[in-house]
Amino acid sequence: MKQDKDLAFLSTCKNEDLRTLCDILTYNNKGEIRLSEQLTNSDAYINYYPDRMNLMTNELAEELRKYGSNTVRTIWRKGEADTYETIVRRVCKRMNINVGSDDSTQEMERELLINICEQTTSRLSNEELRSFADKAGIPHKRLNRQMLVSALMFAIRRNTILMKEMVYYVSLRIANMLLGRWITVMGMSTVGRYLGMAAGPIGWAALAGWTISDIASPAYRVMIPAVIMVASMRFRQTAVLTQKI
């Protein structure tokens, strides 16, 4: 299978992020190997999982693309799965996120992440909203719930650092629900500083339930969280590079 240009960046990602993506593709929330996965039998998985994930990113990208593709079309194309760009567009359509026909993969991923963040914000309790606003430095004493939600959504779109930390936390909460274990990753203290929600309040749990439970197709139950994880990894990497300039 040809290398996908939109997934080439995976080789520069952190080992723990890659392992999380790999686990989403290969394990269910009971810790059992998915029946349809083909990655765990590969030489790359046997040799490099879980500590040298950057050496198996080609196989990881291939597995992701196979999950997001139509099996019949893949066979007809002699094993060439859909591009990651096509898969992201399909995920956005499934989640009713409007993207333009000319939008790049990165632009579609950003809209997906913003949608996830906004859905999360709208589901927080009043107490959580005010705690979030305090951490984001937003005055809120005179704001009702609707005004506060709007203010936070605006802040997320405008503040790259705030969005990066929220995206980070949300993606890990989703992965935690899927894999049945908490994932410890460097940077969680930063998330706690921004959001003050490291204990996992009801609003965050509701997000994970909303994101996954409404997905009818088994393939989408894997693909949507996987694309969210990839989008999160790219966005956080891009945000770090932007901050250094």
Give tens-digit pLDDT for 46-101.
999 999 999 999 999 999 998 877 653 544 455 578 899 999 999 999 888 999 99
Q: Is the pLDDT of residue 242 over 70?
A: no
Count of residues making up the chain? 245
Q: How many CB atoms lie within 10 A of CB 69?
A: 20
Positive or negative, the CA dihedral 74, 76, 79, 83 is negative
pLDDT of 217 over the 90 cut? no
Residue 200 has pLDDT above 60, yes or no: no
C-alpha closest to that of 109 among 241, 240, 226, 205: 226
Residue position matching structure tokens 């490291």: 198
Verdict on whether the full-model pTM lies above 0.85: no
Q: Cis (ω within 30 of 0) for the bond into 50?
A: yes
Average pLDDT over residues 223-227: 89
Residues of the chain with pLDDT > 70, as a percent, come to 76
pLDDT, tens digit (0-9, with 9 covering 90-100), for 6-18: 999 999 999 989 9
The whole-number pLDDT of residue 206 equals 47
Paired tokens of 5? 């240009």
Q: Which amino acid is at 92?
A: C
Task: Answer whether 65's CB lies under 8 Å from 90's CB.
Answer: no
Q: Compute CA 222 distance to the chain's CA centroid, rounded to the nearest angstrom.
A: 11
- What's the first-to-final CA gap in the chain, in angstroms? 36
At residue 183's C-alpha, the angle toward residues 216 and 163, to 5°, is 75
pLDDT at position 97: 92
CB atoms within 10 A of CB 63: 24
Map residue 27 onto helix, strand or coil.
strand
